[in-house]
A and B are shown apart, each in its own frame.
Chain A
Amino acid sequence: MSAERKFLNPGEVPAIPGTEGWERMYPYYYRFGMDKEREAYENSMLWYYDGLHYPEPMYPFDLIWDEAWYLGLSQYNTRIFMVPPAFGVDHRIVNGYIYISPVPVTDPKQVEERLQHFLQRAGYYYENWHDLYGRWKTKMEELIKEIDGIKFADLPDMEDISVVNDGVGRSSGYEIVKKYNYLIDRALLVWQYHFEFLNLGYAAFVTFADFCRKAFPGIDDGTITRMVGGIDVILFQPDMQLRKLAKLAVTLGVAGYFKDESAPAEIIAALGENEAGKKWLAEYEQAKHPWFYVSSGTGWYHDHYCWLDRPEIPFLSIKSYIKKVESGDSLERPTQKLIEERDRIVAEYSSLLQTQEDKDVYNQLLAISQKVFPFVEDHTFYVEHWSHSLFYKKIRELAVVFVKHGLINDSEDIWYLNRFEIGQALYDLVCAWATGVKACGASYWPQEIKWRKGVMEKFRGYNPPPALGVPPEVVTEPFTITLWGITTDRLAAWLDAGAVKTEDMNSLQGHPGSPGVVEGIARVVRGPSELGLLQEGEILVAPTTSPSWAPIFVKVSAAVTDVGGIMSHAAIVCREYGLPAVVGSGYATAAIKTGQKIRVDGNTGTVVILE
């Protein structure tokens, strides 16, 4: 890439008319260009749009997850494991979309000093991985239980007599503020744990992947992950439960209740009237915890409802699985075959290495990658699915209180306040409650929210540029490489694509996420709410996808995403389901229209619009 080719400077991004003042929806430290010095730093960096996590503009409240990992990821690189050449990843918002930038360690002396610490600290974690990971699961489960225990209820007109008799000395107003702060604290803690293993997991995996690419320049990323990937990963559990329930419905002879047109509540009511049905319901209840906390999306947005919130999603796939069982499909995953195939691939690549030294390094790096990989694959269920789904549920409880006191008109309006604003509004609310007056926010928030909704709508109709600023010579930050897949080719493609209008593109280059070639009709799905539109055999085109979309992966013939590398959720789930996938294409949802015929080549990472 030539030096003079660069992206827009952050300050040059045009404002969207009618959104002026949008910055106040987010904390001040997310703004570009506070003063000249900061602007000079920002203009010297590469900022890329994190569409992998944020295919939609940021709701002020949902920004909490971004804040959580701003701290979480960066501190493990910079302050805890002392990743030698990489500090953290910096964050900004423009026009409602998140841009991030890896910060390198530029002083060679400092890199050298950090290296010694890294060897000691990372070494400890790699060495004690299984033990530490076992403790991690316990920590997470306790934390999740704590979150589940937090309950928000309306404030009483008069405190209970026990407050007096027990000499409690505090009011429900104080308690609700405390609970909110505690809930926020727990949410941030979840994300502290999220990164406890992830940076090191990626670092080990990247090293194995780089060794493979050096030895076998033609190897594709999908094959590398197949070598280290687990077979029984937690993320497939929710879907496995549905398969089990479908088989059970057939065995118990209650499959007839699962009519296409019946809603979950009707089916459940009907099943409750007979013994076999009750048996099925008992199994269903058991499967729900914790597996139905799986989000119908990635879990990053409050409207990515989990299966508990939207039982029609799991019921839809139970129905389709029942049909498969009735037509003779066992619904068994060929686990043994998958293991054998993985082992064959591993052995065959090893046999192609030419020196014993190479074989030794290959085996070492493979072993460590296979050791770290279960965490890399499984942590999302604990964090983005289970914890997030529970957390949204709690905030919705609080929203009901807000509505009651007139701070917002509808409980779903709460997401238009950021976490600090909710804290302020809540304090406003309890003071007014204590004082016996109307909360000030009632005169402020409804109007402000109306304006914010308009701004969000305008953000939604805008295509954020994939990158801003100046690409560095070298990227050393493991996430930037593995998760976001920032490479020379990717940046060049973004630069080239920037010169062509997205609607005029007829082919796109992304990463080969999962092998295979398929031609078919495209269906652009911008979020989980549009999943119901997918028809059998269509190609899913989405900003990004989630493994919890598993039920629809039974239907689609291939997947294409705007953002993501080989470890993105879409790539993982497609490899598991044997569907071709192209991930990180940059512009698929903008360039491709529903109904167009496209060819997806998951071996080379190309998507061609055929008509």
Chain B
Amino acid sequence: MNTQNYVYWLRELDKDDVFIAGRKCKGLGEMLRAGLPVPPGFAISLKAYEKFIDETGVGSAITSYFEEIKSRLQDDISLFEKASEYICRLIESRPIPGEIQNYILSYYRELCDRCNVENVKVAVRSSGPVSMPGQFDTFLNIQGEEQLLDRVKKVWASSFNARAMHYRMQRAMPVESSPIGIAVLKMVNARASGVMFTLDPLNGDRSTIFIEASWGLGESLVSGQVTPDKFALNKVTMAITKRVICNKAIEMAYGPQGDVIPVDVEPARQNVPCLTDEEIVELGRLGKLVEADNKLPQDIEWAIDKDLPFPRNIILLQTRPETVWNKKEAKPLFKPGAGALNHIAGNLLTGKKIR
């Protein structure tokens, strides 16, 4: 384990570690430990946040600011906006204490090394210890040390956005402090991406793993702009049982502003499979793992990162239980209790429809 307690590799976090660097970081750590590949990255702890707030005097400044406006807050909601503006400016004006800064940067450099990319682009994501979905900021496509430190502070500052403070006050939580963790994750440099169902979505066959894949980021698939390649795997034997290769004339990529834009795919790549066989099988293996962990067939978003070597290049982005077939009631397939001989006779009587 670490000798410091400001920055952690995700793998160091486990299911009881929600108060080290928040829920998201803990969740990512858990997935890694279960053998499920998430984007490589590290976590900045609640301790780092607290030390920053303390040492820079931000904490005491906030306390005295609130002392002043407290009595008027109940009547004038707009004061939250003003407070937020003041506090965010305050936070962004203070440098991160040297020790913490050194740790963050050394982890970032190590991450660049591990990904074999100079100044690797990262996502800087908030990771609160309690679930407050969507309240804090997340920044994508962050590149270089300077940008990284800046966005770390911006995420910390986002714990003082008006919504968050109002939320805390209504629940009688301390308004002037709310430690949150941060996940710094490699931006997936997607060569290909798609979805995977751990059953056949067409007929509910649970012995099949079904994959749809196209070039670039996953948005083209979601928005239906590209007909994806389709692959099926036998979940038990892991043999690839179906490949339908489609024409993929566009792919989604990050534009100069970090937005997602469609780009033409050069002709040579349009009609070739966007996954190799070993990637298909590895995806299937991971799908089985996720399904076993969740005890239900899953609907999984994934991407292939072109910066990383196989099998580390396969990244799971999101997983949730499949919704259509999981809800269907399972009925016995053959009349129960009939005995083998009756099943055989019944089957002979039915025969095979051939026309």
Q: A residues within 8 Å of B by Cβ? A: 1, 3, 83-86, 111, 115, 118-119, 122-123, 126, 203-204, 206-207, 210-211, 214-220, 223, 345, 348-349, 352, 354-355, 357-358, 360-361, 364-365, 367-368, 471-476, 478, 481, 486-488, 491, 515-517, 603-604
Evaluate whether A474 and B334 lie within 8 angstroms (CB atoms) in the complex, with A216-B207, A352-B207 already known.
Answer: no
Contact residue among B200, B237, B240, B343 (Cβ-Cβ distance under 8 Å from A365): B343
Q: What's the Cα separation between A247 and B344 when bound, in Å?
A: 45
Q: Tell me the smallest distance from the CB of A208 to a CB of chain B, in Å.
A: 9
Task: Determine which of A1, A86, A220, A515 lies in contact with B348 in the assembled complex, contact meaning CB atoms within 8 Å.
Answer: A86
Q: Are A206 and B347 in contact (CB under 8 A)?
A: yes
Cβ of A488 and Cβ of B208 under 8 Å apart? Answer: no
Shortest CB-to-CB span from B156 to chain A, Å, is 47
Among B207, B330, B353, B354, chain A packs the most CB atoms within 10 A around the CB of: B354
- Asked if A211 and B343 sit within 8 Å, CB to CB, the answer is yes
Q: Which segment, of B3-11, B59-67, B228-236, faces chain A?
A: B228-236
B257 at the interface (CB under 8 A from A): no
> B242 to chain A: which residues have CB within 8 Å?
603-604
When C-beta atoms are compared, the residue in chain A nearest to B236 turns out to be A348
> Does residue B268 face the partner (Cβ distance < 8 Å to A)?
no
Q: Which of A1, A361, A474 contacts B343 (CB 8 A)?
A: A361
CB of B172 closer than 8 Å to a CB of A: no
Instruction: Tell me if A's interface is mostly helix, strand, loop or mixed.
Output: helix
User: Contact between B351 and A211 (Cβ–Cβ < 8 Å)?
Assistant: no
- Residue in B200, B207, B241, B341 whose CB lies within 8 Å of A123: B341
**Complex CA distance for A478 and B332, rounded to whole angstroms:** 24
Known A83-B348, A218-B234, A368-B340; judge A491-B332 contact (CB<8 A): no
B340–A345 touching, CB < 8 Å: no
Residues A476 and B349 in contact, CB atoms below 8 Å apart: yes
Q: Interface readout for B314-355 with A: 1 if CB under 8 Å, 0 if not?
A: 000000000000000011111011111111110111111111
Q: How far is the CB of A260 from chain B (nearest CB, A)?
A: 37
- 11 A-B residue pairs with Cβ-Cβ distance under 8 Å, sorted by A, are A85-B349, A203-B344, A211-B343, A220-B239, A361-B334, A364-B339, A368-B344, A471-B355, A473-B353, A488-B355, A603-B234
Considering only CB atoms and an 8 Å cut-off, how many residues of chain B contact the other chain? 41
CB contacts (< 8 Å) of A123 on chain B: these are 341
**A516 and B239 form a contact (CB under 8 A):** yes
In the bound assembly, the distance between CA atoms of A126 and B343 in angstroms comes to 13
Assembly CA distance A206 to B351 (angstroms): 10
Considering only residues 238-273 of chain B, those with a C-beta below 8 Å from chain A are: 239-243
**Of all chain A residues, which has the CB nearest B277?**
A517
Q: Hey, which chain A residues are within 8 Å of B340, CB to CB?
A: 126, 204, 207, 364-365, 367-368
**B354 contacts A215, C-beta separation under 8 Å:** no
Nearest residue, chain B, Cβ from A205 = B344
- A355 cross-chain contacts in B, Cβ below 8 A: 330-332
Does A204 contact B344, Cβ atoms closer than 8 Å? Answer: yes
B224 to chain A, nearest CB (A): 25
* B206 interfacial contact with A, CB 8 Å: yes
Tell me, yes or no, whether B223 is within 8 Å of chain A by CB.
no
B241–A604 CB distance below 8 A: yes
Tell me whether B205 is interfacial, beta carbon within 8 Å. Answer: yes
A472 partner residues in chain B, CB cutoff 8 A: 354-355
Residues of A within 8 A of B203 (CB): 217-218
- Contacts A218-B232, A473-B354, A604-B242; A345 near B348 (Cβ below 8 A): no
20 extra interchain contacts, Cβ-Cβ under 8 A, other than A204-B340, A354-B206, A471-B354? A1-B354, A3-B355, A85-B348, A85-B349, A126-B340, A207-B340, A217-B200, A218-B200, A219-B207, A219-B234, A348-B235, A355-B330, A471-B355, A472-B354, A474-B354, A475-B352, A476-B349, A476-B352, A487-B352, A515-B239
The smallest beta-carbon distance between A201 and chain B, in angstroms, is 11
List residues of B whose CB falls within 8 A of some A CB. 200, 203, 205-208, 232, 234-237, 239-243, 277, 330-334, 336-345, 347-355
A354 to B234, CA, bound (A): 17
Residues in B whose Cβ lies below 8 Å from that of A219: 205, 207, 234
Question: Contacts of B240 on A, CB cut-off 8 Å?
Answer: 517, 603
**Nearest chain A residue, comparing its CB with the CB of B346:** A207
A476 partner residues in chain B, CB cutoff 8 A: 348-352
Minimum Cβ distance to chain B for residue A607 (Å): 15
In the complex with contacts A352-B207, A364-B339, A603-B240, A474-B344 CB distance below 8 A: no
Establish whether residues A491 and B236, one from each chain, have CB atoms under 8 Å apart when the complex forms: no
* Bound-complex Cα distance A365 to B334 (A): 11
Residue of A nearest to B353 (CB): A474
Shortest C-beta distance, A67 to chain B (Å), equals 26
Task: State in angstroms the CA–CA spacing of A491 and B354 once bound together.
Answer: 8
Residue among B330, B336, B342 making CB contact with A360, cutoff 8 Å: B336
Q: Which residues of B contact A211 (CB under 8 A)?
A: 333-334, 343
- Given the interface pairs A203-B344, A218-B207, A475-B354, the reply to whether A357 lies near B336 with Cβ below 8 Å is yes
Known: A354-B330, A355-B330. A486 touches B341 (CB 8 A): no
| B336 contacts A361, C-beta separation under 8 Å | yes
Which residues of B lie under 8 Å from residue A119 when comparing CB positions?
341-342, 345
Partner of A474, one of B200, B235, B341, B352: B352
In the complex, which of the residues B242, B277, B341 has the most CB atoms of chain A within 10 Å of its own CB atom? B341
How far is it, in angstroms, between the C-alpha of A368 and the C-alpha of B340 when the chains are bound?
7
A478-B241 in contact given A367-B340, A473-B353 (Cβ < 8 Å): no
In the assembled complex, which residues on chain B have CB atoms less than 8 Å from the CB atom of A206?
347-348
Contact between A349 and B207 (Cβ–Cβ < 8 Å)?
yes
A-B CB proximity, top 10 nearest: A476-B351, A354-B330, A357-B332, A357-B336, A218-B208, A216-B207, A207-B347, A474-B351, A364-B340, A515-B239
Residues of A within 8 A of B343 (CB): 207, 211, 361, 364-365
Q: Out of A3, A216, A364, name the residue touching B205 (CB < 8 Å).
A: A216
Q: How far is the CB of A227 from chain B (nearest CB, A)?
A: 10
> Bound state CA distance, A487 and B234, in angstroms?
22
A84/B353 contact (C-beta < 8 A), A216-B206, A365-B340 known: no
Instruction: Judge whether A203 and B239 touch: CB under 8 Å.
Output: no
Task: Please state if B239 and A216 are interface contacts (CB–CB under 8 Å).
Answer: no
User: Are the C-beta atoms of B355 and A115 separated by less than 8 Å?
Assistant: no
CA distance A115 to B136 in the complex (A): 71
**B236, A349: Cβ atoms under 8 Å?**
yes
**What is the distance, in angstroms, from A114's C-beta to the closest C-beta of chain B?**
10
Q: Which residues of A contact B337 (CB under 8 A)?
A: 357
Whose C-beta in chain B lies nearest to the C-beta of A488? B354
Q: How far is the CB of B327 from chain A (nearest CB, A)?
A: 13
Chain A residues with Cβ under 8 A from B200's Cβ?
A: 217-218
Within the complex, what minimum Cβ distance (angstroms) separates A31 from chain B? 27
- A354–B329 alpha-carbon span in the complex (Å): 9
Q: A214: nearest residue on chain B (CB-CB)?
A: B333
A122–B351 CB distance below 8 A: no
Q: Are A118 and B354 in contact (CB under 8 A)?
A: no
Instruction: Give Cα A196–Cα B350 distance, bound, in whole angstroms.
Output: 23
- A456 to chain B minimum Cβ distance, whole angstroms, is 33
Q: Which residues of B contact A83 (CB under 8 A)?
A: 348
Most chain A CB within a 10 A radius of its CB, from B239, B336, B339: B239
Contacts of A478 in B (CB 8 A): 348
Q: Write the nearest CB–CB distance from A605 to chain B, whole angstroms.
A: 10
Chain A residues contacting B241 (CB-CB under 8 Å) are 218, 220, 603-604
User: Across the interface, do A122 and B237 meet the contact criterion of CB distance under 8 Å?
Assistant: no
Given contacts A219-B207, A475-B354, contact A115 B345 (CB under 8 A): yes
Name the distance in Å between A285's Cβ and chain B's nearest Cβ.
42
CB neighbours of A215 from chain B (8 A): 207, 333
> In whole angstroms, how far apart are the Cα atoms of A220 and B237 in the complex?
10
Contacts of B350 in A (CB 8 A): 476
Query: Are A361 and B353 touching (Cβ within 8 A)?
Result: no
Residues in A with CB closer than 8 Å to B339 are 364
Q: For B277, what are the chain A residues with a Cβ–Cβ distance below 8 Å?
A: 517
Which residues of chain A have C-beta atoms less than 8 A from B207's C-beta?
215-216, 218-219, 349, 352
Look across to chain B and name the residue whose beta carbon is closest to the beta carbon of A120.
B341
Please name all residues of chain B whose beta carbon is closer than 8 Å to the beta carbon of A358 when the two chains form the complex.
330, 332-334
Question: In the assembly, what is the distance between CA of A3 and CA of B354, in Å?
Answer: 11
Chain B residues, Cβ within 8 Å of A204:
340, 344
